[in-house]
Chains A and B, each alone.
Chain A
């Protein structure tokens, strides 16, 4: 069992080989955790498809499984793993973060208040928001 921390949250997946730098997961786990799936045109997330690199197809897709670590590297996105390989963070690239900020549409997020209730920035659409950070440290 491996935990994937993605943009959508934490997902438990099975069938990986924690000892290597690869992250092979089943097609259904890949789709559930990341939204990516193998199609005839390549690897796709929603309407976006990325052709598999010629000659290296089997590094990314084989036997109905997807190597998410190789896919993330191929896309130039950060993929970092715990030393034991039981947890991975699959992040967004600086390029995508910059593009999102350049649109000036404030990126949405969901964070808890002290009682555990989740608040989304988009819950407050229609009001001006002064979003301010602080810390006890």
Chain B
């Protein structure tokens, strides 16, 4: 089954999307980014595969997302044809892998062995743990009418845990400047250089 979790701190924001999707599965809202803290999630869409016994089969990884958007023409928002195809392939491949695992369980070629799963665990640093605590504090402050301090604390969290796009993009939203697809988003993406925006996914054929 699917459990979809919106990493949205303002509860109202994901509701129009959830309504439109008419989901047949639970859609949860994670204002304080609890999943980021527990599973080392740093961006969306990231997914974790969990088997019937509650064991992690694939730790947090980008779920069918690909870097293609970085080659977008920022004026027309168009992708070169070859990049668009690669982006579509990443998504199809990942969806097929999930279906294969749903059918075949641990016999699926896409299910990690426990050793492989451990080798693919995300890095969790002391700074990241502090950043998640600061993020939670910021959400408490937002709910209790202290947006100025909340914004400062999210900034602090983002500096401590720069790999987290979840923290940064939520911080960008706090100022009510609209979605975080503005020039400062592109600047931050460009600053990655050769580093990936979506961590590589260890799956045969995945771009």
Q: Footprint of B on A, CB under 8 Å? A: 3, 5, 10, 76-83, 87-94, 97-98, 100-102, 104-107, 109, 111-114, 119, 121-122, 124-137
Q: B72-80, B82-90, B98-106, B193-201: which one contacts chain A?
A: B98-106
Say yes or no: is B189 at the interface (Cβ < 8 Å to chain A). Answer: no
Interface string of B134-174 (1 = CB under 8 A from A): 10110011001010010001000000000000100110110
Residues of A within 8 A of B6 (CB): 133-136
Residues of A within 8 A of B173 (CB): 137
Which residue in B35, B55, B121 is a CB contact (below 8 Å) of A105? B55
Asked if B26 CB lies within 8 Å of chain A CBs, one says yes
When C-beta atoms are compared, the residue in chain B nearest to A118 turns out to be B28
Check A87 against B50 for contact (C-beta < 8 Å): no
**With the chains together, A110 CA to B75 CA distance in Å?**
42
Q: How many residues of chain B are within 8 Å of chain A by beta carbon?
A: 74
Complex contacts, B40 vs chain A, CB 8 Å: 97, 101
Q: A131-B3, A132-B4, A132-B47 are in contact. List 12 more A-B contacts (CB 8 A).
A: A5-B137, A78-B133, A89-B133, A91-B37, A93-B129, A97-B38, A113-B26, A125-B53, A129-B2, A130-B50, A137-B169, A137-B170
Specify which chain A residues have a CB less than 8 angstroms from the CB of B29 in the assembled complex.
111-114
B192 within 8 A of A: no
CB contacts (< 8 Å) of B48 on chain A: these are: 106, 131
CB-CB under 8 A from A133, the residues of chain B are: 4-7, 30, 35, 41, 44-47
Q: Which residues of A contact B153 (CB under 8 A)?
A: 80
